[in-house]
Amino acid sequence: MINKKMTDSINEQINKEIYSGYLYLSMAAYSASIGLNGVANWFRVQLQEEMAHAQKFYDYVIQQGGRVALKAIDEPPKDFKDARDLFQKTLEHEQMVTKRINNLVTLAKEENDHATETMLQWFVTEQVEEEANPTEILQKLDLIGKDGNGFLMIDSQLAARVFVPLQSGA
């Protein structure tokens, strides 16, 4: 059984995960509007991942006898400078999510909630990837500089990204 403090904190994280998806959907819309369909695809896949993360938290609260309480989702930004700005903001956002996950782990330890602490380890590992992906794209963008051909190659690579659903129990 999960306690109220932990339930409330996870409910807040559900909101943040859904907001993350909403943010990435906004980034996909911006990308598509300027003809960056590969970048738009990358962000649509990111949306699906974030919604899967929210669902994982949701399912956990229910399994533990808690009550999910959904809240309003903040409006995400809709205008960005360019592709580099999109991925820089993505990295910063994921760093904030990592901090939130780490805070949840700390709370689970303080609350002596071993089940939640164990479940959160999946998210700790996931956040390493969530930060590495935009970092790698930013490094590639820095390498190509203003080379349009190089950017088109990156856009093409991002178009190939597909969503891989979470495995049951994952």
78-124 pLDDT, tens digit each: 999 999 999 999 999 999 999 999 999 999 999 999 999 999 999 99
**In whole angstroms, what is the distance from residue 127 CA to residue 139 CA?**
18
67 in the Ramachandran plot: left (φ > 0), alpha (ψ -120 to 50) or beta? beta
Enumerate long-range contacts of 148-155, CB under 8 Å, 24 or more apart. 151/83, 154/38, 155/36, 155/37, 155/38, 155/39
Domain ranges for the chain? 4-159
Distance from C-alpha of 164 to C-alpha of 118, rounded to nearest angstrom: 23
- Structure letter (DSSP) for residue 169: T
150 contact partners, CB below 8 Å, separation of at least 6: 143, 144
Supply the Cα-derived Rg of the chain in whole angstroms: 17
Distance of alpha carbon 92 from alpha carbon 46, whole angstroms: 15
Token pair of 10 as six digits? 């996870």
The Cβ of residue 141 has, within 10 Å, a number of other Cβ atoms equal to 19
With 0.85 as the threshold, say if the pTM is over it: yes
What would the mean pLDDT of 37-63 be, rounded to a whole number?
98
Residues 22-28: what's their mean pLDDT?
Answer: 98
**168 falls in which pLDDT band (50, 70, 90)?**
low
Q: Is the Cα dihedral 166, 69, 5, 21 positive or negative?
A: positive
In this structure, CATH architecture of domain 4-159 = Up-down Bundle (1.20)
Q: What percent of the chain has pLDDT over 70?
A: 98
